[in-house]
Chain A
Amino acid sequence: MNHLRQSACGLLFLSLSFACACLAQVEIQIESQGVRRIPIMIEPFFGESTDQMQYSNIVVADLERTGLFRTTYADRPTTEPNGIPDFDQLLAANHEYLLVGLVTADANNIAQTIITFQLFDLVTQSSEQVLRVTHNAGQERSAAHIIANWLFESLIGEPGIFQSKIAYIHKTNPGSEATYELKIADYDGYNAQTLLISQEPIISPEWTTDGEKLLYVSYEQRKPIVYEHVLLSGERRVVAAFKGNNSAPSISSDSRWFAVALSEEGNTQVFLLSADGTRKVKLRSSIGIDTEPDFSPNNEDIAFVSDERGSPQLYQRNRLSGEEKRLTHGSSYNVSPRYNSDGNQLTYVRRDNNGYNVHVLNLGADHLPTTALTGIDLADSPSFSPDDRLILFKNDARPNILYTVALSGKIVRPLSFQEEGEIKDPTWGPASSSWF
């Protein structure tokens, strides 16, 4: 095993400073057609660039993706922070909020940029405090996500997730000369960084709850072995390297147990491994394939796939009592279960008449109702956003991009970034970590 470099990592800081935050709670009214979307006009900021670092454009994309806003992106800026917008005209156009901004260089520190912005309530013709974000070069997108987070929290009343991260596998040169890279990126795919590169497959990355490590499967030893990888230091350790395949890693939220799929007994079965390496427990004995375990947020249950009855179906097993519940019916293909952070929903892929769709299953209701969020897709690898409002997934028909779908309104949007080659096994990380 070669030695992985350790690198000292200087953390960069962004400061968001404001004198007073007057949080506005907006009730989201349910309309007959679905959820009401908050109408907001966003103007380009004075002085900002018009490339992929354009703050206002990033804020629009962040809000639109959630399905909770109806954003209108103005052609040009009209109002500076502390200015007075044309309330009557904007309200007449059915906008309820207006965001304006101004970008300037910091006179005291030329390396820094200052974004000043202000939110207006067009209905009450009042304004929020003027706020300011200061950032260094290269942090433009993060600064825009901070503004979007503030806006989201101001209008929805819950923290935004626009600074969260995703992990995925990037495969180039498909075929026998393929290269596999394990990458992490901003939630919208920008600022991707490679953690691991290999000529052999890497699959199934999985975040730890604290966002400091990833679990994944690597074939670098010419067979699938599960590793744990510390993001900041690059340190790695083997989690499971038993005879046969070692795959489908999942970790409990208290980090005490791993769940993995092993084929050492022949057919693939789920095992629990204690994080200290002292215990190995088979979850259950099945005559079929059992795989893709996922811990419920309280760690009491494990959802998994089993085809013991002839086709892959989802099951949930209570770890203490051993009680099992079959979760899926009516389709012969149900895979890749992931709990949301409340534990009351599962997302998974189900084959319907029109294709492989991302579904959400309501665990709280008696008959376990399931809802398709996509249509006519080759959907793959769904995972919840940290706030459970969005699901990140892949569509095998367009393998070089990723999608999100908002549970509210089933709004499917591709991420605007693309990779050359193929993106595989995307997974959404936590809202924040010690390093982001």
Chain B
Amino acid sequence: MSQSSSFFPLIAIAVLAVSLSSCAQKESFSGLEDTTSSSGSGPKVVQATPQVSPEQETSILANRNVRGNILTERLVFFDYDKSLVRDEFRPMLDAHTELLANNAGVALILQGHADERGSTEYNLALGQRRSDSVREYMLSGGAFTDQIESISYGEERPRALGANEAAWAENRRVEIIYADE
């Protein structure tokens, strides 16, 4: 190793700081204020709209979860890298839209989701585009802007686990979540 020529300056001690062991901040955020549930956990008061009598409205809302009712369908699935609402979901979305249009006090959250492939951040934006796409569809059908909030969880909340097309297709979705349920 070229002992003859190149002598580098004498280095006495190189001090190297390592490790921040025991400095880790471990915090749970379970104690954070939940700013989203300002309405509390009690039942919501549903306001009547001019078009629908209270009895009718109550029955529509009450029947949302009756087996066989189209309103029990709450999932909209999407093609890979797409946010277009497929035709097969239009009747279901039309039914939810009609419920919103006829019940001004009812609100829902559209949660956009993506499959895990590709970038976390692009998937977050894709999920947002999907929830926005469903929101636009519902607004054009007569729902009101203050009834619908669209957000995205990207690839973070998969419905199906697994790295295959069947699982991915399950995960490219918008979930309809009623605020009063």
Contact = CB atoms under 8 A, between A and B. Distances in A.
Interface of A: 1-2, 4-5, 7, 9, 11-24, 121, 124, 126-128, 138-139, 142, 146, 163, 174-176, 178, 191, 193-201, 203-204, 218-224, 231-232, 234, 244-245, 247-248, 261, 263, 266-268, 289, 291-292, 305, 311-312, 332-333, 335-336, 349, 351, 356, 378, 380-381, 396-397, 424-425, 434-436
Contacts of A11: 17-20
A93 B125 CA distance: 56
B11 A21 contact: yes
B29 A220 contact: yes
Interface in B131-150: 132
A20 B8 contact: yes
A275 to B, nearest CB: 21
Given A203-B154, A223-B151, A292-B119, A14 B18 contact: yes
Contact of A139 (B1, B18, B157): B18
A53 to B, nearest CB: 14
Nearest to B8: A21
A203 B19 contact: no
Given A24-B1, A289-B122, A267 B132 contact: yes
B24 A248 contact: no
Given A9-B23, A220-B29, A267-B132, A335 B1 contact: no
Contact of A305 (B7, B24, B122, B152): B122
Interface in B14-36: 14-32, 34-36
B28 A198 contact: yes
A2 B31 contact: yes
A256 B81 CA distance: 34
A90 B3 CA distance: 21
Contact of B163 (A7, A289, A291, A396): A396
B128 A263 contact: yes
Interface residues of B, number: 55
Given A17-B12, A22-B1, A245-B128, A336 B21 contact: no
Given A126-B1, A397-B163, A231 B128 contact: no
Contacts of A146: 16
A261 B153 CA distance: 14
Given A356-B117, A424-B120, A311 B1 contact: no
B51 interface: no
Given A12-B19, A289-B126, A381-B120, 19 more contacts: A2-B29, A12-B21, A16-B14, A20-B7, A22-B3, A24-B2, A138-B21, A142-B18, A175-B161, A201-B153, A203-B154, A221-B35, A244-B128, A245-B151, A267-B128, A268-B124, A268-B128, A335-B119, A335-B121
B79 interface: no
Contacts of A197: 26-29
A9 to B, nearest CB: 4
B61 to A, nearest CB: 25
A292 B121 contact: yes
B156 A201 contact: yes
